[in-house]
Chains A and B, each alone.
Chain A
Amino acid sequence: MKAMIIQGLQQAYQNLFHMLAEFLPRFVVMLVIIVTGLLVAYVLKHSLRALLHLTRLDRLSEEAGASRMLRMAALPSMTEVLSRSIFWITVLGSILVGISVLNIAGLQEQIARILRLLPEIVVAMVILFLGLVIANFLSRAALLAAVNAGYASPKTLSWSIRFVIWMLAISMALEELGVARQTVIAAFSIVFGASMLGLAIAFGLGGQNLAREFLEKNLGEGKKEKTEEPQPL
């Protein structure tokens, strides 16, 4: 009995040692690949940035109106966006290659799947970018309109609009990727519905006075206050 236990433990120890002996070199290779990838990404980022500065891409982008789009989305210049993108794509690629070296059956399959999904990923990224641009544009428009009209909480209104558009863009991007379609739709409906209901309840119950003031100012007697401004022209 005792001998069997010892033999079993020895077997387990041998298996563990064998596994570690097989896994550790691969893990080290993975780390080397990732670190090398990081270094390459860093060099690529700086080289590309220098090259794009030389070619005056930012000026071209300004003339083409692309810089304005980026600024609307609170993103940096075209040179910076491209150099940062190349950095992250290289880092991501090296991580995927590094992980594939581990030879883990399930992961290999997932990585191959990710590579097959690449076109959808690009489309999803474009959707997210456009969502970001539209969200920033509309939330800023709402903020300015609310501030100039003298409404009580302009930032809340602005952030609500930004949040709703982000939610919509994220759910559209996930839909494009085909990630748990039903769950995404259900999650979006729940979050969107809950946000609207929450706002309605907060405005109607929590902010009864504010709601009254708002309605009176815009539809009732209070509207006359707006005409008190002296004639500007």
Chain B
Amino acid sequence: MAEDIFLGDDFLRQLMSVGEADLLVAVPSYNNAGTIGQTVQAIEESYQRSFVRDRVVILNVDGGSSDHTTDVVVNMNGRKSGPHRGLTSLRTVHRVATQYAKSPSQGMALRTILATVDLLRARSCAIVSPATTNLDASWIANLLRPAYRQEFDFVAPLYARSKNQGLLARNLLYPMSRAVFGQRIREMYSEEWGFSGRLAAQCLSQNVWNVEAIRERPEAWMAITAISSGMKCCQSFLGPKAPPAAGTGPNFVEAVRQTVGNLFWCLENFQGFWLDRKGSASVATFGPEHELTAEEKAPSRKQFFEMFQKGVSELEPILATILAPDTHAQVKRIAELDPSKFRFGPELWVKTLYEFAASYHRSVINRDHMVQALVPLCRGQMYSFFLEHADSSAEEIEANSEAVCLEFERQKAYLIERWKAKS
């Protein structure tokens, strides 16, 4: 098998001792010794509560930690007590661990996980992040069950968020991926998701592992592979998503580079699938589809507007090569508005993004530079959102989100026109 080539001998020996498995939960790690114990406990608890009779495995794939993260996973004691005392798995909960590289890469971690799922013939797999501090046993069960019991192939998470959280996902990634690929999956870019053994085998056979966009954020590619192959996708509600500890998560610029860069790459590589598709369809959802929590602290708004203004003026020659003259003129016009009257409306926002996507397709400048040039505009759009929805209720936020999605769908013809234009 091709998997044998990149899996180490020691790791293959561990897998041979496991044999076959029904369920697998994978934890990609990099210097997470402080939190990974809690994650493994939550997984074991989930196995003991919800999958007592099934053959289960916990897999840790490590990106070269220097704090002995893997040792914590392998050597920690199994859960002896807890709220479900007396109920224990009838089978051994296997723990296997491997180091896939000397430096972390989400894509390489996923490749190792997929190869393991394939070798163990697991029917359902969930990936969870050790950096998620509020992960609990129910999250694991909610990610594993749809692929295990209901024949779904891709399980996206759904989180309860505060209204200013996840704005990149809400105003760009979700509406654009929904309009383009035609499936209403809210959280394609997440650190937790589930999938079937069938999808794992399909993804593993593809030669994308050296692509930068996949090495950094492979999860949406997996979802889009499932959509484009006609596999069944669903969403499963997990609960509130706690923000990562300070300094651990990607900053805003990195998040845009990784996710938007990946989305544009997927647009390029799945164009045969989406160019003729119209509209969008909802997917099966387990639990509430959206839930807003109370806002803890309002973000610093002024800084966003200043960075937008500065970006538009300093990056003028770059934006001129990416945007159509009319769109560029409109962006420059709103950058001159009084901060209190500023509005980056959905029509202009969608047009701007579609022009960026088409320019990415034509490689008018270096593609990573192009995605970076989008960062100030994202900040401007976020500032506009803060202004407009300072006092909005959860229903109003959801209505706005739906309006943005519909605008993306309405203007899809414009994206196709720009996409197919010769220059």
Task: List A residues at the B interface (Cβ < 8 Å).
Answer: 68, 71-72, 137, 140-141, 143-145, 147-150, 154-155, 224-233
Contact = CB atoms under 8 A, between A and B. Distances in A.
A40 to B, nearest CB: 31
B251 A154 contact: no
Interface string B339-381: 0000000000000000000000001111001001101100000
18 contacts: A68-B366, A72-B365, A72-B366, A140-B365, A144-B369, A147-B310, A147-B315, A148-B311, A148-B376, A154-B310, A224-B246, A227-B247, A229-B252, A230-B167, A232-B169, A232-B256, A233-B168, A233-B259
A232 B255 contact: yes
A232 B314 contact: no
Interface in B212-267: 241, 243-244, 246-247, 249-253, 255-256, 259
Given A72-B365, A140-B369, A147 B311 contact: yes
A227 B259 CA distance: 19
Contact of B369 (A141, A226, A231): A141
Given A144-B372, A145-B372, A149-B253, 5 more contacts: A143-B314, A150-B307, A227-B246, A230-B382, A233-B255
| Chain A interface SS verdict (over half) | helix
Contacts of B376: 147-148
Contacts of B259: 233
Contacts of A229: 251-252, 299
B81 interface: no
A80 to B, nearest CB: 13
A72 B300 CA distance: 36
- Give 5 closest A-B pairs by Cβ, nearest first: A232-B168, A144-B372, A232-B255, A230-B164, A230-B299
A226 B382 CA distance: 16
Contacts of B373: 144
Given A228-B300, A230-B164, A147 B365 contact: no
Contacts of B246: 224, 227
B166 A232 contact: yes
B318 interface: yes
Interface of B: 164-169, 173, 189-190, 241, 243-244, 246-247, 249-253, 255-256, 259, 299-300, 303, 306-307, 310-311, 314-315, 318, 363-366, 369, 372-373, 375-376, 382
Q: Which one of B169, B255, B365, B382 has the greatest number of beta carbons of chain A within 10 Å?
A: B365
A142 to B, nearest CB: 11
Contacts of B244: 231
B249 A231 contact: yes
Contacts of B366: 68, 72, 137, 140
Contact of B318 (A140, A148, A226, A228): A140
A182 to B, nearest CB: 38
Contacts of B311: 147-148
A152 to B, nearest CB: 10
Contacts of A226: 251
A148 B246 CA distance: 19
Contacts of B252: 229, 232
Contacts of B307: 147-148, 150
Nearest to B422: A59
A147 B369 CA distance: 12
A225 to B, nearest CB: 8
Nearest to A149: B253
A231 to B, nearest CB: 5
A155 B314 contact: yes
A232 B253 CA distance: 10
A225 B307 CA distance: 14
A210 to B, nearest CB: 15
Nearest to B363: A68
A227 B252 CA distance: 9
A233 B249 CA distance: 10
A232 B246 CA distance: 14
A233 to B, nearest CB: 5
Contacts of B365: 71-72, 140
A68 B367 CA distance: 10
A68 B299 CA distance: 39
A228 B303 CA distance: 10
Nearest to B163: A230
A105 B249 CA distance: 73
Contacts of A231: 165-166, 241, 243-244, 249
Contacts of A71: 363-365
Given A232-B252, A232-B255, A148 B364 contact: no
Contacts of A230: 164-165, 167, 299, 382
Contacts of A141: 369
Nearest to B256: A232
Contacts of A232: 166-169, 252, 255-256
Given A71-B365, A72-B366, A233-B189, A148 B168 contact: no
A225 B252 CA distance: 13
A154 B251 CA distance: 20
